[in-house]
Amino acid sequence: MDCVYKNPSAPIEERVKDLLSRMTLDEKIGQMTQIERGVATLSVITELSIGSILSVGGSAPYEDAPSEAWADMVDGFQKAALGSRLGIPLLYGVDAIHGNNNVYGATIFPQNVGLGATRDADLAQKIGMVTALEVRACGINYNFAPCVAVCKDPRWGRCYESYGEETELIRKMTSIVTGLQGQPPPGYPKNYPFLSGSDKVVACAKHFVGDGGTERGINEGNTISSYDDLERIHIAPYIDCISQGVCTVMASYSKWNGCHLHASHFLLTEVLKEKLGFKGFVITDSEALDRLYHPHGSNYDQSILTAINAGIDMVMVPFRYQLFLDHLRCLVESGKIPMTRIDDAVERILRVKFVSGAFENPLSDRSLLDTVGCNHHRELARVAVRKSLVLLKNGKDITKPFLPLDRKAKRILLAGKHADDLGFQCGGWTKTWEGMGGRITIGTTILDAMKDAVGGETEVVYEENPSPDTFASQDFSYSIVVVGEPPYCESGGDSQDLRIPLGGEELISLVADRVPTLVILISGRPLYIEPLLLEKMDAFVAAWLPGTEGAGITDVIFGDFEFQGRLPMTWFKSVDQLPMHQERNSYEPLFPFGYGLTSKNKVL
Ligand code: GLC
């Protein structure tokens, strides 16, 4: 307690200044370094004063590791950091982008595109609070969320990580930041990082800036626009995040008018830090400094020089940390990177760590473990699923709505792999980086939910791949066909044709030609719907990527709750129209941005 920086009642800025004054160059650059858990030995953490560790993608202590195993792992890393000369605690970062999605048994919420369909800022904030709880239960104190991309083209593989195509919608949903970090009290310093307690996490607004505006939706591509348009469309949500006290911002892999965001002093320093007044820290994306030049990894020295001088404060290395540290040390000692830049970066990192309470509460709070995947959290996720569903067609004759369905029908055909696959329901960033099919965690598939929802006399026949024979021997009152996309992530999700994959189109035709059919689409974005196919459907629901609580879907299709979701993205007629949004001259969508029906065919 003899040092100011160890005194919790001392003003944050005095603690920052005191601690910075005690640090060696090696300790300073160590704090600017984020490494992957797989290379983080206890001695490296202690000796190099590493500032942060992360789980890249789905990197976990072991497969299906429960929260307690995560907490044990993170506490181990933290104790190593506390054992360093100055005892500076770690930030441990994960991508908990729709719940604590790496952790077995955690509550998995609808992906952001589905939350965008709800337009419910309070819901987003509550989801942030629950996510923070389930993340902190694992000892983790840093979350690389929210993604506040404005997705201007559904061909982008990360469309589902965005709340939608319209800036004002994304701005509204930034309320998740105060859910994750807590609400700054009246009179709190403007644009200053905030965090309110040991059940909150450091948030990260990403990916700054224009990640959702690239040409043809190419991931990590190039956003071409005037500065005014960039600010009006893509920067605006960051203003809301900063005003809510967001602690960190992640730079985008993408480029603006051909300039890498990670190399842009104008955008990272002059705009983000000076014009917008951001006082937290800017972190790179994973291995982003390896990608500034081609081939990847080349000119690493030059990449570090450019990025740090542009305004990067912490580098998500995450593997070749010794090479990074050696280069950075040389660049500082040679004067190519001024010490003032290093001090600014480290001040920002320390500021966030002091604000986060990590010095006072560095270790996991095991009393939170029971909150992970608890019924209360799953009920919130179920509410989110209900509110996210968008009804796009209800009845071949709108005066005769097809929904709500009769739960006491004699026999119902449920068809399609997506009707009984929890991994498909959750999408990417779930259990693993790219996601995967199967019963990947604890949750409720649509088939599970159907069995609970229908009457005791009703028979539900599930066929993943029905054939004409399915219909030869039995009659069905109606069918529910669930099709869509398999899980994907980042560039793996980029698509230029946006067709319903996995034989979904054929499945719809096979069933709808024989039985009255509701089609439910499980996807990260609007997909191409052939006009004849839409005509065959008796009803059509966009369910996005709902997460673990599939009962939210049956709640609505059987009429216990009304549809209220509205499109967060324009539904195109043809990919040749893309990019198409209301700002464009020719706007002739299949369904416009904001469209959605009630079960009585009233336009919301
Ligand atoms: C990824 C993503 C970023 C994520 C980071 C850490 O490449 O672009 O959104 O937070 O790496 O997993």
Which atom from ligand 1 is nearest to the alpha carbon of 433?
12
pTM greater than 0.85: yes
CA–centroid distance for 592 within its chain: 24
Domain ranges within the chain, ordered by starting residue: 4-368, 376-577
**Number of other CB atoms surrounding residue 367 within 10 Å:** 10
Check if 4-368 and 376-577 are the same fold: no
- The 10s digit of each residue's pLDDT in 497-549 is 999 999 999 999 999 999 999 999 999 999 999 999 999 999 999 999 999 99
What CATH topology corresponds to 376-577? Answer: Rossmann fold (3.40.50)
**pLDDT number for residue 185:** 97
Does residue 162's CB lie within 6 angstroms of at least one atom of ligand 1? Answer: no
The beta strand positions in 70-209, using DSSP E, are 91-94, 142-143, 204-208
Does residue 145's CB lie within 6 angstroms of at least one atom of ligand 1? Answer: no
Q: Rounded CA gap, 45 and 467, in Å?
A: 58
Does residue 142's CB lie within 6 angstroms of at least one atom of ligand 1? Answer: no
Task: Check pLDDT > 80 for residue 371.
Answer: yes
Q: Which residues of 559-595 are buried (b: 16+ CB within 10 A; e: fewer)?
A: eebebbbbbbbbbbeebeebbbbeeeeeeebbbebbb
Mean pLDDT of 262-285: 98
Asked if residue 404 has a cis previous peptide bond (ω within 30° of 0), the answer is: yes
Nearest C-alpha neighbor of 425 from the set 393, 449, 391: 449
Q: Helix (H, G, I), strand (E, B), or coil: what is residue 70?
A: helix
Mean pLDDT of 265-288: 98
The beta strand positions in 360-477, using DSSP E, are 390-394, 411-415, 459-463
Q: Helix (H, G, I), strand (E, B), or coil: what is residue 282?
A: strand
Residue with CA closest to ligand 1 atom 8: 285
Contact 530, 158 (CB under 8 A): no
Mean pLDDT of 60-88: 97
Q: Helix (H, G, I), strand (E, B), or coil: what is residue 128?
A: helix
Tell which one of 112, 144, 317 to mutate to probe ligand 1, the residue whose CB is within 8 A of the most ligand atoms: 144
**pLDDT number for residue 79:** 98
Q: Which CATH class is domain 4-368?
A: alpha beta
Contact 536, 508 (CB under 8 A): yes
Q: If you count them, how many residues does the chain have?
A: 604
**pLDDT number for residue 57:** 85
Q: Rounded CA gap, 101 and 426, in Å?
A: 9
Q: Rounded CA gap, 494 and 30, in Å?
A: 36
SS3 content of the chain, % helix, strand, coil (to 5): 40, 15, 45
Task: Check pLDDT > 60 for residue 398.
Answer: yes
Q: Which residues are catalytic?
A: 285, 490
Mean pLDDT of 441-469: 97
- Strand pairing class (390-394; 539-544): antiparallel
Does residue 56's CB lie within 6 angstroms of at least one atom of ligand 1? Answer: yes
Contact 311, 269 (CB under 8 A): yes
Nearest C-alpha neighbor of 30 from the set 90, 93, 92, 94: 90
Q: What is the mean pLDDT of the chain?
A: 97
**pLDDT number for residue 193:** 98
Q: From its phi and psi, is residue 395 left (phi > 0), alpha (psi between -120 and 50) or beta?
A: left
What Rg, from alpha-carbon coordinates, does the chain have? Answer: 25
Q: Rounded CA gap, 604 and 601, in Å?
A: 9
DSSP state of 32: T
Burial class (CB in 10 A: 0-12, 13-18, 19+), 169: buried
Please, which pLDDT band fits residue 1 given cuts at 50, 70 and 90?
A: low
Please give the distance, rounded to the nearest whole angstrom, from the Cα atom of residue 157 to the centre of ligand 1: 13
Q: What is the dihedral of CA 583, 584, 590, 591, to 10 degrees?
A: 0
Which atom from ligand 1 is nearest to the alpha carbon of 286?
11
Q: Which residues contact 97 (CB under 8 A, 6 or more apart)?
A: 111, 112, 144, 145, 146, 147, 161, 429
Does residue 286's CB lie within 6 angstroms of at least one atom of ligand 1? Answer: yes
